[in-house]
Amino acid sequence: MFEDKKAAWLEKAEALKPVLRKETVRPVSGMPDHALTENESVVLDFGGHYVGYLTLNLTGEGSHPDAPAWLSVKFCENSRELHETLDGYQGWISKGWVQQDQFHVDVLPAVLSMPRRYAFRYVKIDVLALSSKYRLVIRDAFAETVTSAADENVLPLEGDGQEAVIDRVALRTLRSCMQDVFEDGPKRDRRLWLGDLRLQALTNSVTYRNFDLVKRCLYLFACAADREGRIPACLFTEPRVEGDDTYMLDYSLFFIPTLLQDAEAGGDRETVRDLLPLALHQLCLADRQFDPDTGLIRDSDRMGWCFVDWNLGLNRQFCAQAIWIYCARAALRMQDDPGLARLVAERTAAARSAWYDAERHLFVSGSERQVSRASQVWAVLAGIAEGEEATACLDAVSACPEVVGMVTPYMMHHYVEALCRIGRKAQARQVIRDYWGGMVRHGADTFWELYNPQNPDESPYGSPVVNSYCHAWSCTPAWFLRSGILNENA
Amino acid sequence: MFEDKKAAWLEKAEALKPVLRKETVRPVSGMPDHALTENESVVLDFGGHYVGYLTLNLTGEGSHPDAPAWLSVKFCENSRELHETLDGYQGWISKGWVQQDQFHVDVLPAVLSMPRRYAFRYVKIDVLALSSKYRLVIRDAFAETVTSAADENVLPLEGDGQEAVIDRVALRTLRSCMQDVFEDGPKRDRRLWLGDLRLQALTNSVTYRNFDLVKRCLYLFACAADREGRIPACLFTEPRVEGDDTYMLDYSLFFIPTLLQDAEAGGDRETVRDLLPLALHQLCLADRQFDPDTGLIRDSDRMGWCFVDWNLGLNRQFCAQAIWIYCARAALRMQDDPGLARLVAERTAAARSAWYDAERHLFVSGSERQVSRASQVWAVLAGIAEGEEATACLDAVSACPEVVGMVTPYMMHHYVEALCRIGRKAQARQVIRDYWGGMVRHGADTFWELYNPQNPDESPYGSPVVNSYCHAWSCTPAWFLRSGILNENA
């Protein structure tokens, strides 16, 4: 399906490919004031998070260098990475993501321009080998940084110090992820994921306002749909545009609210006109997972069938149903459709009937009737719970002693949004100050992929060494703080 | 001194810079017949020793690669290197010489053209990381090899099988070392040493006959002389021609016989006309080390003052005197000089008087009157012992129970040459078959920097991991076997 449209979509996507903005930056500290010997290390600190290409201008001191200089160069987004190693790494995400390369410099002086793009604040250089006859001088170190974010479009946030700092870190997070596409993280995975794109587009709409980039990404996802018209969870742009073979129910559906947001924020009708049929098709594809008799979505044991949060213990059945309803409602805002509206009403009623525990004011999920914060959040966002009932749900889950919690800033975003929806603006603001502010207190220059205040070492990958410390889905404090949604009257 | 001549010399040297011959070669075995997974290794065997640049044509199999492919690529001249690691390496030569690099391939398919030049027969590729979603396919592997040796100038050696094999390995050794200059070893140190050049030029004169390259190297050494006119033991050509600050008495003096050889073999008088004054100057510079009263060269504790052999226990005083006499005799063949001839006679007499133990028929060296094979060899080559006395010396040292032996093919060359000088052609031939043939029996494709038949693991550097297995000074069997010197009537 839609195959006949893809060439035109791809052409539009490529025409919108941004010219990256380049800037040369140098370390603010760490440049050695002496010539280095074998086994010495230096840590260059660029003073902030950047994405780009490093060049070292090297020479020898002493005798003519009579052996190659062998260097290990490690790029760290976060100072904790400086001390981590891959020794014994058994995680399931590739250790190829760790930003560490080795170089042999055969002739000195040399300009060592590293060909790979890195995401970093710190650069650790270990001198693995020289010879006894010379020492290594780093005459200059600079990075050519790249982004498609336009700083001049964004004024600093007014207001109190802490929120201004959180906003600045959020902006930096988004900025570093804005490249040829909205990347999820410039260290890892360096590609376009729909779940991240939706939150990036939201934040972009009140900050860098690069609507062309959002439009490009929507068209890219449209091109990457499979033969059935199913939109993948993420896509690759190199060596050519190709969807990943990872499909997640919620991510496919989020194409719809992302398209809606773009239409509302960017004001461009062309994209909606082109892509709405494909967007609506995601709802139809998801229909197969519903039991026509009960109106309930079927649960699944398949890892990653529906993302919601990085929490292996979370039952996702309720959230999946809620997200379908949330996205269908977004579709109805773009196009009237009485049949769809009826289906939304039926499935909302079915969800309440099956999973609302009215006595406890909690939505449960799965055959074991699991209580999670995610379920209450999505009940509110999807409008399955409204008004006082929505407030009661969120209060009840907070009071519940055993509840499956949230582990990602991505899920935290939805929680804060749900708090805003029920009018708890001060509480929403406090969550931002506590949660994202917690990362700032841990020294974050950009917001992390993962942050558990109770266990900052947590990683779903088996080791924090592959964690991403600049991750798109964490950038939304800038949206909360700038969109007006936190205002009491909004 | 000679400073005013250097610009013209450099111009001549650069005009003689060879255009390297390039050839594309592919592995004869080891190409994997399946897609590789993380932690797999393959060993490509190129079937012979080459110097060049490797390209891997890579692609993924399975899902679209979703993480960089991280490879370690190790180049080995000798199969033993495949199993050696740098763990715990404490040697004094830089471990930067070990030919091992790491590469991250961010996008697949990819043509990974490695920028550094390597010397190898085997290439070991370790897949350090992929992801669980794809496997790595090596679609093609090839090397663009480089040499300035012209194979068409050399016919295979006639004669029995073993000598033909030794000759072939010797030729390959010289060929791989023939690049922009005569390198000592294409793995390590990859530069022009005078001691190696002399033996390379000898072998070149009866094989590849690239006299321009010899001439270029002579002019380069002339340019690299220091302000006193002293010729360094080795020189660098990158980033510009510069002498090393290593000076060794014998290596500086060997400029003279190398110039003589070139004149005799290549027949070019221009080089001698240009460079003879500088050559003779090396004899004068060495004069300072002689005691004018005794006519004996002073001994030295300085490591490397005179090379002779890689044998830390060797006393070099006698050899140094003998090498001065040997080189002065070479000078006299280029230019008549009664004063120099008289000095040669005096110093020969002084050496005999101080160090010849007529009863034992042995030359001794140093205050402890050390007996070494090297001293007898140089006594013969320098003409300090002649006729039956020379034969008696070499016989006596072979019968001597405690004698400082020889450790390098370089010293072995001089031993074989001394055997030829006394007419022991069959014995010389047998040493070649035993010693260089021993390396062949250990699987050598090229002759090694070091070979001790009693201890093949020996290394003067603290570990064999930095040993060079294709080393210029080992290439002389081809000279012995082709020059006619081994013929009984020669």
Give which of A57, A64, A191, A245 to mutate to test B binding, by max B Cβ within 10 Å: A64
Q: What secondary structure does DSSP assign to A9-39, as a single string?
A: HHHHHHHTPPPPEEEEE--SB---SS-B-TT
What are the tokens at B7? 């610009």
Other C-beta atoms lying within 10 Å of the C-beta of residue A458 = 14
Q: Tokens in use for B472?
A: 């210029």
CB contacts of B113 in chain A (<8 Å) are none
Chain pair A-B, CB pairs under 8 angstroms? 95
Phi and psi based region of residue B338 (left: phi greater than 0; alpha: psi -120 to 50; beta: remaining): alpha
Out of B64, B95, B129, whose CB is closest to A96?
Answer: B129
Tens digit of each residue's pLDDT (9 = 90 or more) over B26-35: 999 999 999 9
Q: Do A64 and B102 touch (CB under 8 A)?
A: no
Contact A59, A71 (CB under 8 A): no
- Decide if A96 and B104 are in contact by the 8 Å CB cutoff: yes
CA distance to partner chain A, nearest, from residue B90 (Å): 11
How many CB atoms lie under 10 A from the CB of residue A78? 24
- A353, pLDDT greater than 80: yes
Query: Is B106 in contact with A116 (Cβ distance < 8 A)?
Result: yes
Instruction: Please enumerate residues of A whose Cβ is less than 8 A from a Cβ of B.
Output: 38, 63-64, 66-70, 92-97, 101-102, 104, 106-109, 116, 128-132, 188-189, 191, 236, 238-239, 242, 244-245
By Cβ distance, the residue of B96, B106, B189 closest to A70 is B96
pLDDT at B207: 97
Preferred mutation among A59, A94, A134, A461 to probe B, highest tally of B CBs within 10 A: A94
Read off the pLDDT of residues A39-90 as tens digits, 9 standing for 90 and up: 999 999 999 999 999 999 999 999 999 999 999 999 999 999 999 999 889 8
Contact A106 B116 (CB under 8 A): yes
Question: Are the C-beta atoms of B363 and B318 separated by less than 8 Å?
Answer: yes
For A103, the closest chain B residue by CA position comes to B101
ipTM of the complex as predicted: 0.96
Q: Compare all CA atoms of chain A with the CA of B127 and give the residue at the minimum distance.
A: A96
Residue A370, beta-bridge partner list: A365
How far B292 CA sits from the closest chain A CA (Å)?
A: 33
Tens of pLDDT along A250-295?
Answer: 999 999 999 999 999 877 789 999 999 999 999 999 999 999 999 9
Q: Kindly list the residues from chain B whose CB atom is less than 8 angstroms away from the CB atom of residue A66.
A: 94, 189, 191, 236, 244
- pLDDT 10s digits, B380-397: 999 999 999 999 999 999
Bridge partners of B113, per DSSP, are B55
CA distance A465 to A456: 13
Per-residue pLDDT of B451-480, as tens digits, reads 989 888 778 788 889 999 999 999 999 999
Interface contact A109-B239, CB threshold 8 A:
yes
CA B31 centroid distance within chain = 32
For B38, name the nearest residue in chain A, comparing CA atoms only.
A94
Say how far apart CA A187 and CA A470 lie, in whole Å.
8
Amino acid sitting at position B105:
V
Which of B58, B59, B94, B104 to mutate to test binding with chain A, by most A CBs within 10 Å of its CB?
B94
Residues of chain A contacting residue B226, judged by C-beta atoms under 8 Å apart = none
Q: pLDDT averaged over chain A? A: 96
Nearest chain A Cα to B238, which residue? A107
Q: Name the residue among B466, B96, B245, B246 with its Cα closest to residue A67.
A: B96
For B102, the closest chain A residue by CA position comes to: A102
> Which chain B residues touch A if contact means CB-CB below 8 Å?
38, 63-64, 66-70, 92-97, 101-102, 104, 106-109, 116, 128-132, 188-189, 191, 236, 238-239, 242, 244-245
- Torsion, Cα A280 A284 A290 A295, to 10 degrees, reads 60
Least Cα separation, residue B104 to chain A (angstroms):
7
To which residue do tokens 């001060």 refer? Answer: A426
Rounded to the nearest angstrom, the minimum Cα separation between B105 and chain A is 9
pLDDT of residue A88: 87
Mutate to test the interface with B, among A51, A59, A66 (most CBs of B within 10 A): A66
pLDDT at B90: 87
Give dist(CA A278, CA A217) in Å, integer.
14
Average pLDDT (A460-470) is 89
Q: Which residue stretches of chain B have pLDDT < 70? A: 160
**Among all residues of chain A, which has the CA nearest to that of B70?**
A96
Residue B193 CA to residue A122 CA, distance in Å, equals 42
**Residues of chain A contacting B107 with CB distance shorter than 8 Å:** 238-239
Interface test with A, best of B37, B59, B64, B468 (most A CBs within 10 A): B64
Spell out which residues of chain B touch residue A70, defining contact as CB-CB under 8 Å. 94-96
SS3 A427: helix
CA distances B104 to A103, A141, B72, B120, B129, Å, are 12, 22, 9, 22, 9
| Best residue in B38, B53, B59, B66 for a mutation probing chain A (most A CBs within 10 Å) | B66
Q: What is the pLDDT of residue B266?
A: 77
Q: How close is the nearest chain B Cα to the Cα of A110, in Å?
A: 9
Neighbours of B333 (CB within 10 A): 12
The answer to whether the beta carbons of residues B123 and B44 sit under 8 Å apart is yes
**Which of B68, B236, B242 is the closest to A96 by Cβ?**
B68
Residue with tokens 């170089």: A103
Cβ separation of A104 and B101 shorter than 8 Å?
yes
Question: Does A96 contact B70 at a Cβ distance shorter than 8 Å?
Answer: yes
Which residue in chain B has the smallest CA separation from A106? B116
Please state, as a whole number, how many other Cβ atoms lie within 10 Å of the Cβ of residue B374: 27
Read off the amino acid at residue B59: T
Q: In the beta sheet, which residues pair with residue A296?
A: A291
From chain B, pick out residues whose CB is under 8 angstroms from the CB of A236. 64, 66
Mark yes or no for CB contact A96/B66 under 8 Å: no
Cβ–Cβ of A67/B109 closer than 8 Å? Answer: no
Residue A74's beta-bridge partner residues?
A100, A124
Rg (CA), chain A: 24
Record: contact A244-B63, CB cut-off 8 A: yes
Does the pLDDT at position A439 exceed 80?
yes
- Distance to chain A for B96, nearest Cα, Å: 5
Q: Do residue A189 and residue B67 have CB atoms under 8 angstroms apart?
A: yes
Q: Whole-angstrom Cα distance, residue B446 to residue B176?
A: 9
Q: Work out the minimum CA distance from B118 to partner chain A, whole angstroms.
A: 11
Q: Give the pLDDT of residue A243.
A: 97
When pLDDT is cut at 50, 70 and 90, the band that residue A211 belongs to is: very high
In chain B, the residue whose alpha carbon lies closest to the alpha carbon of A134 is B94
